[in-house]
Each structure stands twice: as C-alpha cells, then as structure tokens.
Structure 1
Amino acid sequence: PKFEGYVERLYVNFTGQPVSKGQPLFEVYSPELVSAQREYAIAAQGVESLKDAGGQAQAGMKQLAEASLQRLRNWDISQQQVKALAKSGETKRTMTFLSPVAGIVMEKKAVQGMRFMPGDALYQVADLSAVWVVADVFEQDIGLVKSGAKAKVKINAYPDKEFTGTVTYIYPTLKAETRTVAVRVELANPGLLLKPAMFAQVELPVTAKGQVVTVPVSAVIDSGTRQIVLIQQGEGRFEPREVKLGSRTDNYVEIREGLKDGEQVVVAANFLIDAESNLKAAVGGFGSSAPAAAVKAGTPAEQELPAVKASGHHAEGTVDSIDAKAGTVSLSHGPVASLKWPAMTMEFKVANDALLKDLKPGAKVAVQFVERQPGEWVITDVKPMAIAKGASAPASATSAH
C-alpha cells in the first residue's frame, strides 16, 4: 500500500493459494484513507449544494471533488470502489484490496492486526502460466547463442517430458567466478508443472560446424599462456605440441590447430610420464630453440621437437599377496638403484586391473613403476621372470612406504 494503516482482515491466508484477478486479498483500516473519503464526501455535498450557483463556484467545487477521487486512485483503490464511493458518497471505515492479477501467492507477509507503512509489500502474487529458465553458458560458447532461438528444456522431475522455449534475453554481464553468461529462456507452463527454483538442463541450438577434431579434456595441459598435448611417437616416446582450442563439452574439447585426425594423444599423463622431470624439460624447451638456419626451397623449415621418453623405475622381486578389489599388490623386491632403495617388501598400486590378471603369490616378476603422487607408487608394467636353478629369492626387509 501507498499509505499507512492496519490489516483488519485477511481473505487469502497462506502461500501457494491460487487467486483470480479482482479476488479480495485483505481489508485495511487507515486514518488517511478515511480522511480522504470524507474530503470527497464534503466536496460532493458542496457540488450538490452549489448546483444552482454560478458557474465559477460550481466548477471550483467539482475540481475539489475530482482531486479527492484522484487521491484515492493514486493509492491504488480500485476503479470499482472509487465509482461506488462517488455514487453513494458514504465514508467507509475499511477498504478491501483486490488482486491485480491472476496467479499464485508466492509470499504473504500480512498478518491480521499488523501495522503497515507506505511501500510495504504485504503479498506477492505471480502468474506462473509462463516461466523463465535462466541457463549459464560458458563464455567461449556465448557467441553461438542468438536471441529468438528455440531451446529444449528438460527437468529432472519429468524425465519423459521435453519443454520448448525461446531465448528472450542474453545478459550483458559475465560471472567471473564461473566464467559463464546467463541466458533467459521463456516457456509456457501448462498445468503449472514447472515450479520456481527447479533445476533444468537446457539445449540451445548452434550453427553446425561439420566434423571437427576433438580430444578428451584430460589430454590438454594448460599452462595458462598456452595449451599443449602430448603426441605418441612410438613406444615410450612422446612429442609435446602446442594447440589452439575451440568449443568444449563436459568431456571433450575441439582442437582448431596443431593436431590431425587420427594422431594418438596421451590422456592420462600422470600414469605414464614423470611430470616433474621430463615433461617440464620438454615443455620448457618447447619454442626456445636456436634461430632456424636457412633452408633450400622446398625443404621443410620446421624442425621436429625433441621427443620425451617416459620415465619410471625398475624392480625385480616376488609377489607376496594381491588385493584385486583395492587394485594393489604386495611385492618383496630387490634394491632399486634409481631411487637408492634397499631390498624391501612394500605395497604398490596398479595402473589398471589387467596387470593383476596373471599374477599369483610367489610369482617372480619384473615391474616398471612411477610415483603418481607423493608416497603413491603405481606399477605400469609387469613381466614374469624365468627362475634360474639354485637361485634364491632376494633378501627383503619390511619398510613402511
């Protein structure tokens, strides 16, 4: 309301209640409202008493009466109530407020007997026959979204239903935390199936690009200034190559430049490459070679970058036990020169379950392993060993690695 007063009676008393346009919501008492009605009643009586008077006096009184009515209209008193007051001229102690729209009561702050001030919102009524879905689109994809495009919307609550809407607005700002831009999709809500605050998946149409080269997201090493993938050049050899990225999904990213269809890339470098040594050296030297020498016409000017060899450690020993569920194997191994380890018994994880397939307790094996993260040693290759006659198992010591 635009005036001060008190809530005398509630006709709609809970949120979620549907209301129609013109339906009574609440009844109020306001000294200001009563005073305005009395002003109009006095002005109306003056008009009646001066109907035989001169034109100027009668016109002045009519202006006063009209000003009193306009004051009530400015307070959002309905036209029907204003007409009833103008017709009867009677002052009412209370006034009933009607719903301006048909919809659902989303919020109710009004309590019977409470005092309200000008500007207080006592009810919030929303028309849910049409709703908005606000979708977050990654900044690299926002250029593909056009206002007016049709969108497909799916709601978790109705997995078998698909709703169709229209992109009505693309927000002008970007969320720095998520690097996304909000896009508003408007769609019809038959049967009021769609509820405010529901989660939705939105499919937005984009211009088809045709076939593009893609790789798993995990294959891209992003330094912040450039993006690199590792190309397999042969068994145990890899070439770092700078690429330019395009559109992406949750699992794949488009490669615009730097990679050809069919080339094999490393997607789990943490298992196969010692990132702290060889990878840093290769990437650090990438692009920092000496100036290229002059070449003859027709001779390839590009020089192949030095290949990176996968690194790891070698050990030989005897399988003590295997835990297939945990993907681990306990191994009594001999000294490991590359790590300056003595002979000991310790537990290793395996890079994949297939490595455990032919292992049995007591088997003599040679293994290759890497440190995936501090203190976590992962076997990447296992080969059986031939047992020489009279040879004894290596001496072992137990260590808490």
Structure 2
Amino acid sequence: MNKQRNRQRNKQRTVAAMLATAIVAGVAGVGLYRAGISEGMKQMPPPGTGAMSASETDKKPLYWHDPMYPGQKFDKPGKSPFMDMQLVPVYAIGAGDEGTVTISPRLQQNLGVRTALVTEGSLSSRLSAVGNVAYNERDVALVQARSAGYVERLHVRAPLDRVKKGQALLELYIPDWIAVQEEYLTARRMQGSGIAGLADAARQRMRLAGMTEPQIRVIESTGKVHPRMTIHAPASGVVAELSAREGMTVVAGAPLYRINGLDTVWVNAEVPEAAAARVRPGAVVEARTPGLPGEVFKGRVGAILPEVDPSTRTLKARIELANPSGQMLPGMFATLTFAPAAGKEVLLVPSEAVIQTGTRSVVIVAREKGEFLPVEVKSGIEANGQTEIREGLAAGQKVVVSGQFLIDSEASLKGAIARMGGTPEPGGGKVAARPHRAEGKIERIADDEITISHGPVASLQWGPMTMGFKPPPGGLPRNVAVGDTVTFDFRQQDGNFAITAISPTAAAPAPPAAPTKPAGAPK
C-alpha cells in the first residue's frame, strides 16, 4: 500500500512539473512574439504611409488619414475616429502627379525593381507554318481532240504517268480529213490559170478541219493522204487526268489528257489569323519536308487567299516553290519558314514591362529621384520578347520590367485617394458633403466633442462603433443627456464629423393594460 501511494505521489509531482514548464515556455513565447512585433514595427514604416515613400521626415504632410478609410482627410494629426489608431500623414510625391510613387533605392533593391530603356528599332520575327504540296494550277496543259474520230492506239495508258514534251500520247483515225486532204492534193496536181487559188482554198479547208501547220506540211512533202493523227505532249509533267481509251469515239473538243507540270509546285500554308498581318505577297519562304530530309526549297508567297477557315481560324497563303528535279510531290507535308520583312522603325519595350488590364495597357515609367509614374500606352504587335509602343512613350525613357505590379497597385490607390478628395464646384469651392443619419447612445459630453456609440451607417458603409462628433452649432438640446438613446444627423466638415441635428429617440408606447373585471362579475 505504501509503495502504491509513493508511486501515485511521484506521478502527480511529474505532471505538475510538466505543466509548470509548459506554462513558463508559453509565457516566454508570448513575450518574445510581442517583442518581435514591437521591434518589427519600429523598423517598418507606419501603415498607410506606403512602403513606396522615401525620406518623408523632411517633407510637410498634405493631410492625415486613416489607412482603413483613405477617402477621409484630416487637417491635423490625432486619433482616428474610425479605428483605435493614430492618423497617418500623407506627403506630396512629385510635381502634382496623383499616381506618382516614390521608392528609396534600398527598397527598390528589396522589391527587385529592374528597368529597361525605350528603344527604337524594327520589330521582325520569323513565322513558321505548315501546309501541303499541290500542283501549280498555272502550269497545266490540256490535250483535246481537234476533230471527230476514233482512238486507235494509246501510247500513255495510265494516270500519273510522267511524260516529256513532244512525247507521243495517242493516235486518232479521222475520216473527215481524208476528203480535205485529197482535195488539196488534186488542186496541187492540176495545171492552168486560176489553179493556185483552188489550192489555197483547199489548204484553208484543212485548217478548218483541225489540222495543224506541221501536219499540212507533211501532206505537202509526201503528197499522200494521212487520215491518222498522232497527238504529242505539249509540255513535260504528270498525266493528272486521262479520258481516252483505245477504240472509243471522240468528238471535236473532247478532253483527252490533262498534264500538270512539276517544275514548280504550290504549298498551301495554314497561317494563323492573328499572324496574317506579318505575311505579305512576295515574302521569301523556305520549305522543308520530312520525305526529303536535309533538302531546303526556296520560294515566295504568291498570294494570300481571301478566306478564313471558321473551324481553325486560319487563312491560306499560296507559296510557289521551284522544283527542278521534281522531288516534291503533291500531297507531301511541308514546314514553312517565312523570312522577316524589313519593318519601319518603331518604339520597343520588353513585353514583360506592359501590364495588360483587359481594357488598357499600362507601363510604369521610372523618373529621377526614385519616382515612378504609371502611363497608359497603345501597344502594337509583339515578337521576340519585344512589344511595339505606338503612343504614350518616347525613346530614351526608362520603364520598369520587374516589380511593376506592386508599383501600379500603389499608384492606383494614391490616384483614387486624390480623386476622392472632393469635386470642385464651378465657383472654386467644393461640393458640400451630404448628410448621414444614425442612431446611438451618448457616452460622454464635452465642450467640443460628443462621444456616441452608434449603430451601422448604411450611407457610409460603416459598422457599429464608438466615435466623437462635433456638437451642433446651437449646442445640445436640454432634453439630451449622457446615457440617452438619440437619433442624429451629421455631415463631414473640415476633416471631422459634425452633428447638424440631434433628438432623443421616442420610446415605444407601453402596451395597454388588461381591463379589470367589476366586483361580483362571473368568472
């Protein structure tokens, strides 16, 4: 029993020692935390002065304000009527620019602020696109039957066969040629005056029958009738279409062969709609295809087709490429590189310096003495990490390329504060502040201030708070005292809030007493 009691006592002592140690450590931690906060507050500038202000001790404050309510200005230091804190001074920050921000060199280094010069140069970049090889539709030869006849023999019998210029394609038997040829030979054999005119007329009838001059010269040289005609290829290339077959009847004008040349080919490149302005007819293009590794084909943009594909949002650029060896074939996939065109001189800034807000483009301009000013610009095209600036800047200015978002945020806040200072009237004064109404309880009455614990003020978006007000010009009514619930009107006046009217809140009427029953009335 004694051993159990000793063990229990030892356990209790151990737990008590551990609790005491934890309490001491907690108190020490709280003390260190508070000390750290105090030390940090000593090193940090007061809230609301803006980490962007430098050497403000030698400047005269323009006014004081509460950082939580920056639209309210005060003409002297003191305690904030909104929060339990001192008012913060606001200093002049440059030559009248509302959005100017001043940053000390040490703070610029801490924020990682970097600048770059606005330069002049031409903005050019290579554009890449993809496309497919196609026949050059301007290099097409069509072979037709000049007269009605019959196909007796085909020398080129299948589509996509390669042919050379002058190569025999097919033979036609043309019955109509027999009569005109015999008439011409008969006229030539006849002797006498006026016979020459008959020969010329017969020669003309052979032309009308569809015979060419070389064929007529063959008739003249041989003196024989040739009812068959051999048709030769008018150009070198590939038989794209073949409409003739041996034994078939053809009429005058019937298409027999369609021959596409391969000395030049087209590549229909798919160019993004956003890059269409950078592609111009005549631009030099280099083409590469996976089927011919290491080969580079050069050409030029022949035309920009006036149509945009609604599904891919691309337009077609027609590139004409030289293909002397005939290696590039229709249907091949090609990668195209457009050489940059020499552009005019424009203002350029790094693209990271431009802040896109969705409705405008802003650049932070670095000035002397650590001053920074947001400037709205009109930007142009972007390439190679550079952005064209069309309006808003000049060559030689410095723009911020790192940390500009912090500066722009601070500048926007200062500009908003300046704009909230009041709207001038035509006569030079300011528009009088509109009155506000609230209900609260009087906590203290002094000669120059009345402290009221009031409820929410919807017109100012205030929550419940206790603050001081200037008494009305005629003083408080006699029926108002400390502890009373009042309804009052107030307005902003010279940086303070002054009561314009105040009256006790009417008490709610008491509920009517229950009627009493006369004596002796039945229950």
Higher radius of gyration, 1 or 2: 2
Q: TM-score, normalised by structure 2?
A: 0.39
